[in-house]
Chain A
């Protein structure tokens, strides 16, 4: 199982802070496309992904237990 976290406008679109689902074996890009279609997520091409609190490439494969986070362009500071 995997925890998938959403922030900023993605959290508003999904309506949840996180989802528990099985993404094991999928690439980051596959999971992003899948959830993008289900929740009609906007501006996904600008969204980064983190696996276990570190930025991940779109071709990285998700392992069981990985914590995934979708990270829109940041605006801190």
Chain B
């Protein structure tokens, strides 16, 4: 159960505990939180929705990619869904590796991949409206109907 979608607030320590291993010299933890201001616009709260079964599979895929790319690594990711207020925790990623540099690199890789391939969406609520957000303001299009191989197997 290293890869989960959670309707409840995420317990950071429980995610970290999943990657504790005797061969680790480092554990990095990324905590994604809900920001109030985006380009000067004030967010009141967010709703995250997921295609849960597929999202878990894609989180597992990211874990496999990391374990293949960084030897000896272990990964755990929990992503929250539902209503989140400002400062609430949206995602926690823990990566353990034998050496610290790999731990930072692999953790960064995980969050960037989440933003590419995991079917989770956020709806921003402002004082004057609400909108489902796309990948960086719809700058990414998928003409073939799916991410290119480079996106999926980088």
The residues of A with any CB-CB pair to B shorter than 8 Å are 5, 7-9, 12, 28-29, 32, 43, 45-50, 53-58, 69, 71-77
Contacts and interface: CB of A to CB of B under 8 A. Distances in A.
A74 B115 contact: yes
Nearest to B55: A76
A76 B121 contact: yes
B57 interface: yes
Nearest to B52: A53
Interface residues of B, number: 38
Contacts of B142: 45-48, 73
A46 B9 CA distance: 31
Contacts of B111: 77
A56 B145 contact: yes
B86 interface: no
A70 to B, nearest CB: 10
B122 A76 contact: yes
A74 B118 contact: yes
28 contacts: A5-B51, A7-B51, A7-B119, A8-B121, A8-B123, A45-B141, A45-B142, A48-B145, A48-B146, A49-B146, A50-B119, A53-B51, A53-B53, A54-B54, A57-B145, A57-B146, A58-B145, A71-B51, A72-B121, A72-B132, A73-B138, A74-B119, A75-B122, A75-B134, A76-B48, A76-B121, A77-B91, A77-B114
Nearest to A27: B145
B49 A7 contact: yes
Given A47-B142, A77-B32, A77-B90, 9 more contacts: A8-B49, A9-B131, A12-B132, A45-B143, A48-B142, A53-B54, A73-B135, A76-B55, A77-B114
Interface string B130-154: 0111110010111111110000100
Sorted nearest first, the 7 A-B pairs with minimum C-beta distance are: A76-B120, A73-B135, A58-B145, A73-B134, A53-B54, A8-B121, A55-B146
Contact of A71 (B48, B114, B119, B133): B119
B12 interface: no
Contacts of B116: 74
Contacts of B117: 55, 74
